[in-house]
Structure 1
Amino acid sequence: MNSAEEITIFPLQNELIKDINNTNDSFKVFGKIVPIFQSGKWSFEEKLFNETQEIRFPDDQLDWSQYINQEDKALFLAYKDTKSIGQIRITKDWNHFCYIENIAVKKEFRGYGIGKLLLSKAEEWAKQRDLIGMSLETQDDNLGACRFYVIQGFLLGGVDTLKQSYNPNIETTLYWYKLFK
């Protein structure tokens, strides 16, 4: 693939529902974020692991029709030709942020700007609804995703050490925010 210019992004329609979970590929876990709260601001350090693991989240099983032609939520799919290669699922949150429920790009299309295109689509959607920014959460061990969000202008805004208590592999949930200027 040469560039993200060959990509089209469509809002979810009934005929596209079959493609949603096609974008759910595994990803590498190679380090974690260690959050630091000092003088009222969050920062972080990175800690690389000695070994890399591949992780894949289970496919989401939602009523996808709830994301079609809705004012308060949407799902956009990225395609190269007729192949679904990425998705972003968003909702209008109570705090006037566009909450990103999920963003995924097929493994072989990562690094080509697809995630950035999907975030831009979400930002456009959010601004049309007069929202003040975008927010999302990651686990502390998803360093690749965290690095991506930082590059896209997200700031660490909070940490929760109890949310993932059922999962012994995840110590901390991180909350990221991008405010619109």
Structure 2
Amino acid sequence: MVEINIRQLQKDETPPYYLLELADPSRRMIDSYLPYSEVYLVESIEKIIGVYVLFPLDQRETIEIKNIAVLPEFQGKGLGKLMLGHAEEISQNMGFSKLRIATANTSIAQLKLYLSRGFLLLEIIPEFFIDNYEVPIFENGVQCRDLMVLEKNI
């Protein structure tokens, strides 16, 4: 793997929607949380190959990874683990004690990754993707229906 760098998106930079929309195909949903979030970019030789978004859920206890994505050609190379570790460190430094992440019931690889990194299933929100997205979302040949919310103490 080539050398990579993780840095915060600057205020004058445009968010990498091409990456954010890999994890959340609704620009409307992305735009609803970006103004209140911190965006971190994963760069490799001046090319942005990954992104994650931290969104505080309260003043100091719980922060959520609202979006995490890697370009398809860089998936399966450990970047997800790297970004989760970085998000955990940043969240701890900000004073948070819990890190939350959510994904679709069809996101088998992501669920496996999150569980292997110490996240525990907190709740299932039935029909989340049916109720909140105008266009049906399919993953692994199955329609996304329920939101799986996971959390870990950090």
Higher share in helix: 2
**Matched residue, 1:50:** none
Identical amino acids, percent of aligned pairs: 24
Tell whether 2:46 aligns with 1:93. no
User: Rg: which structure is higher?
Assistant: 1
Instruction: Between 79-88 and 126-135, report the one with greater CA deviation.
Output: 126-135
**Matched residue, 1:173:** 147
CA distance in 1, matches of 2:7, 2:81: 15
CA distance in 1, matches of 2:13, 2:77: 23
Residues 134 and 17 (structure 1), Cα distance of their counterparts in 2 relative to 1, 3 Å cut? same
Q: 5 Å matches for 1:8-87? A: 8-14=5-11, 16-17=13-14, 20-24=16-20, 57-59=25-27, 62=31, 66=35, 73-87=37-51
* SS state at 2:151 partner: strand
Q: CA RMSD in A?
A: 2.7
**Matched residue, 1:103:** 68
- The one-letter amino acid of 1:22's match is Y
Give the TM-score taking structure 1 as reference length. Answer: 0.67
* SS state at 1:164 partner: helix
Q: Higher RCO, 1 or 2 (CA under 8 Å, sep at least 6)?
A: 1
* SS state at 2:95 partner: coil
Higher share in strand: 1
CA distance in 1, matches of 2:57, 2:5: 26
Residues 12 and 148 (structure 1), Cα distance of their counterparts in 2 relative to 1, 3 Å cut? same
Unaligned stretches of 5+ residues in structure 2: 137-142
Residues 164 and 152 (structure 1), Cα distance of their counterparts in 2 relative to 1, 3 Å cut? same
**Which of residues 121, 133, 139 is equivalent to 1:156?**
121
- Output one character per residue of 1:55-80: Cα deviation in whole Å (capped at 9) or x when no partner: x724565289836xxxxx31100000
Paired residues in the alignment total: 143
- The one-letter amino acid of 2:145's match is E
